[in-house]
Structure 1
């Protein structure tokens, strides 16, 4: 049973490993769904943990239809993280009509040759998941992170099972809304063997002075709350998965 934990800080990466994660997906800005992390963050985490690091490549928040400049950035990021030794790169690009953009994905994959590629939840935004699965298989994608095309993986269990049955050598990893409390539900109702979660908790900021007149972030999100992977939550999830071996 594979447990992947998405993180966007050194502290969260260390906590994930301590909790028993098999690997991490390294992102920046998880509060907006994740973007490409900095190379410096990757390098520091590589110094601190021993489990594999899969690196998300996503140039911005929002949809997965990218401009030529954004595609150029993605190819350079793929090359850089591949040379840096990332264990896998996590990508996803769509056409305007909701299909995987094979031309763009091939360009990115060619830029980081020799590194395995996974598909992130851009997959869930495709108009036809079965078609997208076949396209991903032909591209040589190793793993697909998916909720089954709905808001949370527990709600997409039937679709996840169908995808798993038809995936061939592509690993289907359930993600979105996964936690230690619903893992047993997922295991009882599926043949899935890979799960993705953040296991995050909210830590209060240590700032004593707080200017109430200025907001430096996104409206609706407190600047004085820090999201961090909770080692205890990862330990609980690990225990559930291990009990099903």
Structure 2
């Protein structure tokens, strides 16, 4: 089966860097510092003007949990329609019930809005009650990919659950298990050796770019207190290339 390297990006500069580094697919979002939110339609159009690389858009209306109100779900459906027209190839979606189960009923209109595109279940699976059950339900709903850390803070810490999910993938011929959270070239190499079925990885490859501002007024944060305003996170093409090489290497 084909190996997949997906890079999550929230700017045109990062999209260019990911493509330069050899990404197979982009996950487009905004506000990566908040874990990723729904991207700007205009940003997708900018990327589409330069590249035909497959792009899946993260659909997340706010930071925080994955228990969404009807109004938030309606917003997501409207945004899916706009992003489809702008050239999105697929969508990264998910929502949970208060009891931590995949909310199939709430997902129905969103799945209908995204019908005919690629579908990834995002890391809502990692905070669900039973990730293996959630994976099976995602398979039944028609998702082709599940993005997961193995229900842990990092994918290496979630190795045991990832092993279970990879076994389910092979048993069901189910959605691809897209391994994310803390991914870099070294992690890819180690997990491929310990999990022979691992073949799809998701990373940001972020580095800090120094701000071009010469005048810097300190102590006036624009967001969370203590957030560094003078360094911008941006994808490093070298980190993506190293990950690409690690994924393509024979082991």
Q: TM-score range by the shorter chain?
A: over 0.9
CA shift, 1:241, in A, is: 1.1
For 1:215 and 1:221, locate their aligned partners in 2 and report how far apart those are by CA, in whole Å. Answer: 7
CA shift, 1:34, in A, is: 0.1
For 1:213 and 1:176, locate their aligned partners in 2 and report how far apart those are by CA, in whole Å. Answer: 31
What is the SS of the residue equivalent to 1:153?
Answer: coil
2:37 is matched with which residue? Answer: 35
Equivalent of residue 185 in structure 2, options 180, 184, 187: 180
Note the alpha carbon deviations across 1:181-225, whole angstroms, 9 max, x for none.
Answer: 221101001111100000110011111112224211122321111
User: Is the CA contact 2:44–2:87 (under 8 Å) kept in the aligned structure 1?
Assistant: no
1:151 aligns with 2:157: no
1:231 aligns with 2:237: yes
2:248 is matched with which residue? Answer: 242
For 2:188 and 2:139, locate their aligned partners in 1 and report how far apart those are by CA, in whole Å. Answer: 27
Unaligned runs of 5+ in 1: none
User: Is the CA contact 2:34–2:63 (under 8 Å) kept in the aligned structure 1?
Assistant: yes
Q: CA RMSD in A?
A: 1.2
Q: Using structure 1 for the length normalisation, give the TM-score.
A: 0.97
CA shift, 1:113, in A, is: 2.1
1:163 aligns with 2:165: yes
User: Is the CA contact 1:13–1:49 (under 8 Å) kept in the aligned structure 2?
Assistant: no
CA shift, 1:112, in A, is: 2.4
User: Is the CA contact 2:120–2:144 (under 8 Å) kept in the aligned structure 1?
Assistant: yes
CA shift, 1:109, in A, is: 1.0
Q: Using structure 2 for the length normalisation, give the TM-score.
A: 0.95
Unaligned runs of 5+ in 2: none
User: Is the CA contact 1:119–1:141 (under 8 Å) kept in the aligned structure 2?
Assistant: yes
2:92 is matched with which residue? Answer: 90
For 2:250 and 2:71, locate their aligned partners in 1 and report how far apart those are by CA, in whole Å. Answer: 46
2:12 is matched with which residue? Answer: 10
1:15-164 pair list within 5 angstroms: 15-164=17-166
User: Is the CA contact 2:56–2:118 (under 8 Å) kept in the aligned structure 1?
Assistant: no
For 2:94 and 2:28, locate their aligned partners in 1 and report how far apart those are by CA, in whole Å. Answer: 15
What is the SS of the residue equivalent to 1:182?
Answer: helix
- How many residues are treated as equivalent by the alignment? 245
1:215 aligns with 2:221: yes
What is the SS of the residue equivalent to 2:179?
Answer: strand
